[in-house]
């Protein structure tokens, strides 16, 4: 590509005032996700330079003073005089909404950035921002406050390098929390490094000294290997990279011996969490091609596999680059371009057919895996039908041990999943019967990481839970039928309680993931101690809180009661500490990093022992209290 990135490439559409008035329209929210989105917008500019072939290194620094700095070695934002706006092109890019080279197709053929709003939105939502550009042998700099320039562009010195450095401090009169997460940012940067092979992306947290460096010459092929790290694989990683009709298609996949799938799809580096036409094309080609090969080689013996069957144990990454992506869906992260479906289907089915023909050994294992899935799916369907005939999955025939609430509006209803009979007894007596339902769990539910759906359906505790929630399971799951919008896991503060919590979260993550994505799953946080001195009583929820409280009131005459189990509390205590919405603490379960979540569930709950042993050894020092 010609290096013709100049002031005339910067096209501006409107000013910044709407951003400060309605920030949610531009970055999704003013909460934690929006805060991190500010960093992604700056990084996306650097990635656009990488996509155009001009940037190899990107560095993100979370500074102790609250600023975030992003450095790249691209061409540098143009600084020359902009004829239309009669100011520096750098000022235009930072003060005009929808201003940038991505609107001029000569500068960038494709670009990331979901909303295309760019660094100007970051500037608008920053209390202070400094942009430094290395270009034309010089170092240029301009400062801004709340989106407005504090100075003209000034020359600060000479440089033989090129690139852009942006440092910003968010405006916390608009943004809600000053909590940049190293792990959340790392997840996105790692993702970007996988999607743009060869680019080196470094993140440094000056607050803690943590540092990560990501560089993957194998791109998404390495991404699949990374995702399958702790699983037993069935075939070598399949990889395809092909361009057709201005759409670049990149696909990598590998089967493993687990029973769940993990598929990531991207458009211009944007994680399309709701999928779209590219994912539909991938799935239809995969199902059709596997069926054709199975029939041709007679491995299937008359069994026809469905799209659900071919997904069992599949790890895949589908990445497309589209010049004019059309996004739709609730989160604006679903690709709508109809032509992309046919392109992905055509190039993938042709490549997969060749792969199966050339690799008969792995091909047979893949086909056998999908056939076993089809047989198990049919068994699970029959189990569901049998259970349905008995009435257990119908909302009007709820399980007998469920103590339901009287409220019928799901948005106002809460379901407590409670460990053990004694805790269930206390919580049933202590609850508010109008909107709080109690479902006691006897013992530990099945570890669903090691079982297919037909075996899961045969487990009494799981079947009871499915019936109580009322929304079905797996491919039949329908969140609109959910009977409670708060599902609260309430277990003892000991090893067994933690294990039960992990088993339940594994079940929700693998078979009712939408529950977590929609924000319906919570953990109750019962107190660890009751501290009493004279007439003073206080419940505390951590050792730190206990130590602080004891040092206000003094240690003399203090009695400290440690609650190991919920059953040790009477109904009134359980209500006033753990169940009363006015005072209780709940921990909301989110999926900030789907890659890391999948890795941890696989390590903790999967078949392989060695990764679990390594995890325990690594984190043994983090254990505060150990029940022996």
List, for residues 471-480, the tens digit of each pLDDT value: 988 888 899 9
> Does residue 419 carry a catalytic annotation?
yes
Residue with the two structure tokens 């992905």? 344
What token pair was written down for 388?
Answer: 């349905």
- CA dihedral (340, 345, 346, 347) positive or negative: positive
Is the pLDDT at 437 greater than 80, yes or no? yes
Strands 586-588 and 154-158: unpaired
Helix (H, G, I), strand (E, B) or coil at 70: strand
pLDDT band per the 50, 70, 90 thresholds, residue 377: confident
- Nearest by Cα to 170 from 305, 373, 27: 27
81-129 pLDDT, tens digit per residue, is 888 878 898 998 898 876 555 545 555 556 655 444 578 899 999 999 9
Task: Please report the domains of the chain, with CATH numbers, ordered by start residue.
Answer: 7-214 (3.30.565.10), 220-379 (3.30.230.10), 398-526+587-622 (3.40.50.670)
> Which residues have a Cβ under 8 Å from the Cβ of 382 and sit 6 or more positions away?
none
Task: Provide DSSP, 480-507.
Answer: GG-S-SEEEEE--SSHHHHHHHHHHHHH
| CB 351 within 8 Å of CB 429 | no
Q: Report pLDDT for 114.
A: 44
Question: Is 492 assigned a catalytic role?
Answer: yes
Three-state SS for 400-411 is CCCECCCCCCHH
Query: Is a pLDDT exceeding 80 seen at residue 185?
Result: yes
Single pTM value for the model = 0.76
Tokens linked to 233: 């694989």
Instruction: Name the helix (H) or strand (E) containing 386.
Output: helix 360-389
Identify the active-site residue in 8, 241, 308, 494. Answer: 494
Alpha-carbon distance values, 371 to 362, 377, 511 (Å): 14, 10, 20
What's the pLDDT at 63? 96
**Catalytic residue at 610?**
no
Taking only the tens place, the pLDDT of each residue in 210-259 is: 999 999 999 999 999 999 988 999 999 999 999 999 899 999 999 999 98
Q: How far is it, in rounded angstroms, from Cα 385 to Cα 392?
A: 10
Helix (H) or strand (E) holding 410: none
Q: Is the pLDDT of residue 394 over 70?
A: no
Q: Which residue among 8, 496, 517, 568 is the active-site one?
A: 496
Catalytic residue among 73, 414, 449, 492: 492
Rounded to a whole number of angstroms, the distance between the first and last alpha carbons of the chain is: 65
Residue 389: pLDDT band (50, 70, 90) is low
Burial class (CB in 10 A: 0-12, 13-18, 19+), 115: middle
127 is a catalytic site residue: no
What's the mean pLDDT in 413-423? 90
Q: How far apart are CA 441 and CA 426, in angstroms?
A: 14
Task: Tell me what percent of the chain is helix, strand and coil, each rounded to the nearest 5.
Answer: 40, 20, 35
Tell me the C-alpha distance between 264 and 195, whole Å: 11
What pLDDT, in 10s, does the model give residues 2-50? 567 777 765 554 567 778 888 877 887 888 888 999 999 999 889 989 8
Average pLDDT taken over every residue of the chain: 87
Mean pLDDT of 576-586: 91
- List of residues 6+ apart from 23 with CB closer than 8 A: 30, 34, 125, 174, 175
**How many C-beta atoms surround the C-beta of residue 21 within 10 A?**
10
Contact predicate 529/563, CB 8 Å: yes
Residues in a beta bridge with 475: none
Residue where the block lists tokens 């409220």: 407
Residue in 419, 449, 461, 593 annotated catalytic:
419
């Amino acid at each position: 590509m010609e290096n013709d990135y100049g002031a005339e490439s910067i096209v501006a559409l409107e000013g910044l005032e709407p951003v400060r008035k309605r920030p949610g329209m531009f970055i999704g929210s003013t909460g934690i996700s929006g805060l991190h989105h500010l960093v992604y917008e700056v990084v996306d500019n650097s990635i656009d330079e990488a996509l155009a072939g001009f940037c190899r290194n990107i560095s993100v620094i979370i500074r102790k003073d609250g600023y975030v700095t992003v450095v790249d070695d691209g061409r540098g934002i143009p600084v020359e005089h902009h004829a239309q706006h009669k100011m520096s092109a750098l000022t235009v890019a930072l003060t005009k909404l929808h201003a940038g080279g991505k609107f001029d197709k000569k500068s960038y053929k494709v670009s990331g950035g979901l909303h295309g709003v760019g660094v100007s939105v970051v500037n608008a939502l920053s209390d202070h921002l400094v942009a430094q550009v290395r270009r034309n042998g010089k170092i240029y700099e301009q400062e801004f406050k709340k989106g407005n320039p504090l100075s003209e562009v000034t020359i600060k010195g000479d440089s033989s390098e090129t690139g852009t450095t942006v440092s910003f401090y968010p405006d916390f009169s608009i943004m809600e929390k000053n909590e940049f997460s190293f792990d959340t940012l790392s997840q996105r940067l790692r993702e970007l490094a996988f999607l743009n092979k060869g680019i080196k992306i470094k993140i440094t947290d000056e607050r803690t000294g943590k540092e990560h460096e990501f560089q993957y010459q194998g791109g998404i092929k390495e991404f699949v290997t990374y995702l399958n790290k702790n699983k037993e694989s069935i075939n070598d990683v399949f990889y395809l990279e092909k361009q057709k009709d201005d759409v670049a298609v990149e696909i990598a996949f590998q089967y493993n011996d687990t029973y769940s799938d993990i598929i990531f799809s991207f458009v211009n580096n944007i994680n399309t969490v709701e999928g779209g036409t590219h994912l539909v094309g991938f799935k239809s080609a995969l199902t059709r091609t596997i069926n054709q090969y199975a029939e041709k080689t007679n491995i299937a013996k008359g069994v026809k596999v469905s799209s659900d069957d071919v997904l069992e144990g599949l790890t895949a990454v589908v990445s497309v680059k589209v010049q004019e992506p059309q996004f739709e869906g609730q989160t604006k992260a679903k690709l709508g371009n109809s032509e992309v479906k046919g392109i992905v289907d055509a190039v993938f089915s042709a490549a997969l057919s060749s792969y199966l023909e050339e690799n008969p050994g792995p091909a047979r294992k893949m086909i056998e895996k999908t056939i076993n899935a089809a047989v198990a799916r049919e068994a699970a369907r029959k189990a569901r039908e049998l259970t349905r005939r008995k009435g257990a999955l119908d909302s009007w025939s709820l399980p007998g041990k469920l103590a339901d609430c009287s409220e019928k509006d799901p948005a106002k209803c809460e379901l407590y999943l409670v460990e053990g009979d004694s805790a269930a007894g206390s919580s049933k007596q202590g609850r508010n019967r109008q909107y709080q339902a109690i479902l006691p769990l006897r013992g530990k539910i099945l570890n669903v990481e090691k079982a297919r759906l037909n075996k899961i359906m045969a487990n009494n505790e799981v079947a009871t839970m499915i019936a109580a929630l009322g929304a079905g399971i797996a491919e039949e799951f329908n969140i609109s039928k959910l009977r409670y919008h708060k599902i609260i896991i309430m277990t003892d503060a000991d090893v067994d309680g933690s294990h039960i919590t992990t088993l339940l979260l594994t079940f929700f993550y693998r078979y009712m993931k939408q529950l977590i994505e929609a924000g319906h799953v919570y953990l109750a946080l019962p107190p660890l101690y009751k501290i009493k001195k004279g007439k003073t009583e206080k419940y505390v929820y951590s050792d730190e809180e206990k130590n602080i409280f004891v040092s206000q009131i003094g240690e003399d005459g203090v009695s400290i009661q440690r609650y190991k189990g919920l059953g040790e509390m009477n109904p009134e205590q359980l209500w006033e500490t753990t169940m009363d919405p006015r005072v209780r603490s709940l921990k909301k379960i989110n999926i900030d990093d789907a890659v890391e979540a999948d890795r941890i569930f696989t390590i903790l709950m999967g078949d392989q022992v060695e990764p679990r042993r390594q995890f325990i050894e690594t984190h043994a020092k983090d254990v505060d209290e150990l029940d022996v």
